[in-house]
Amino acid sequence: MIDDAGAAEHNDFDAAVEAAIGEIPQELTLLIVEDDKPFLGRLTRAMEARGFLVTAVESVAEGLAAVEAAPPAFAIIDMRLGDGNGIDVISSLKVKRPDARGIILTGYGNIATAVTAVKLGAFDYLAKPADADEIYHALMATKIDKPDAVDNPMSADRVRWEHIQRVYESCDRNVSETARRLNMHRRTLQRILAKRAPR
């Protein structure tokens, strides 16, 4: 059974998604920010084959520069990049171009981060590995379907993980402050944050 905080998190996500859904932009400009070079290459080719004019970069800094130079209609952005967090690129894109649709890709998928991403301008999020078809359909969706939390209850380990992530996001991703609030050793917290989310 999911706790009240988990249910509220799902409700926040649903509300944010409803607010994000709008008209699909007609212009097919696409920014991909991904530091896995082989995946970036495959995804770039797959999206070009679907008619997108792709700008492919490998860092938050390059992504922010690309948004500043020419805000795209669509974006596919990895959450964790070598020089920072992909949410910063999504947030900048939403300021520069409110009608843009951005998808966050994450190998560290969790509800708290997804809610933050959507509130800051992401249209949807997908857990890696996601293939080109999934990503394309998410970008062009007019409705987003996520599994119901009641039908998919979280394990105790996952509930703990979600709580840590909620506190981490509320501390603006500051590890030291998060560790202080959770009364946890900083290195222990860093190890937890570096791992994939438990099922």
Q: Which domain holds residue 162?
A: 156-194
Q: What is the CATH number of the domain that holds 129?
A: 3.40.50.2300
Q: Does the residue 48 lie in any domain?
A: yes
Give the pairing of strands 84-85 and 29-33. Answer: unpaired
Question: For residue 52, which phi and psi values (nearest 5 degrees)?
Answer: -80, 145
Residues 102 and 33 reside in one and the same domain = yes
Q: Does the residue 180 lie in any domain?
A: yes
Q: How many CA atoms lie within 13 A of 100 on its CB side?
A: 29
Q: What is the pLDDT along the chain (199 residues), one digit of tens a residue?
A: 444 555 555 555 455 445 444 556 678 999 999 988 999 999 999 999 999 999 999 999 999 999 999 999 999 998 888 888 888 898 899 899 988 888 888 765 556 666 667 777 777 788 777 888 888 988 887 554 444 444 455 566 766 777 787 788 778 788 898 888 888 888 888 888 887 666 6
pTM over 0.85: no
Residues 63 and 36 reside in one and the same domain = yes
Residues 127 and 163 reside in one and the same domain = no
Residue burial 60-87, b: 16+ Cβ < 10 Å; e: rest = bbbbbebbeeebbbbbbbbbbbeeebbb
Q: How many domains does the chain have?
A: 2
Q: What is the CATH number of the domain that holds 170?
A: 1.10.10.60
